[in-house]
Amino acid sequence: MARRPRRNHSPAFKAKVALAAVKGDKTLAELAQQFDVHPNQITQWRSQLLENTAGVFGGTADAGPPPVDLKARSGG
């Protein structure tokens, strides 16, 4: 069986699949068959969606390190 060429999915398609996975109406196997993607890929997109949801409302999911104020440091 020949390998399928690598496919690039649009962000809109990934969001559609991830939202379908979050709904939970269908199993991963059913979604994988419906959208023609691997179940592990659906799980990954679902995780990314859930991790980054806070950013939609103005927050940040990963704030990172706090900013450093260089003026507050003393020279001595």
CA distance linking residue 12 with residue 10, whole number of Å? 5
Residue matched to tokens 């559609």 = 16
Strand ranges inside the chain, DSSP E: none
Q: Model confidence at 65, in pLDDT bands (50, 70, 90)?
A: low
Round the CA-based radius of gyration of the chain to a whole number and report it: 20
CA distance linking residue 63 with residue 1, whole number of Å? 46
Q: What is the count of structural domains for the chain?
A: 1
| Res 68: pLDDT | 73
Does some domain include residue 34? yes
Higher pLDDT: 1 or 43? It is 43
Does some domain include residue 65? no
Does some domain include residue 1? no
Does some domain include residue 60? no
Domain of 33?
9-54
Does some domain include residue 2? no
Does some domain include residue 73? no
Does some domain include residue 68? no
pTM over 0.95: no
| Res 12: pLDDT | 95
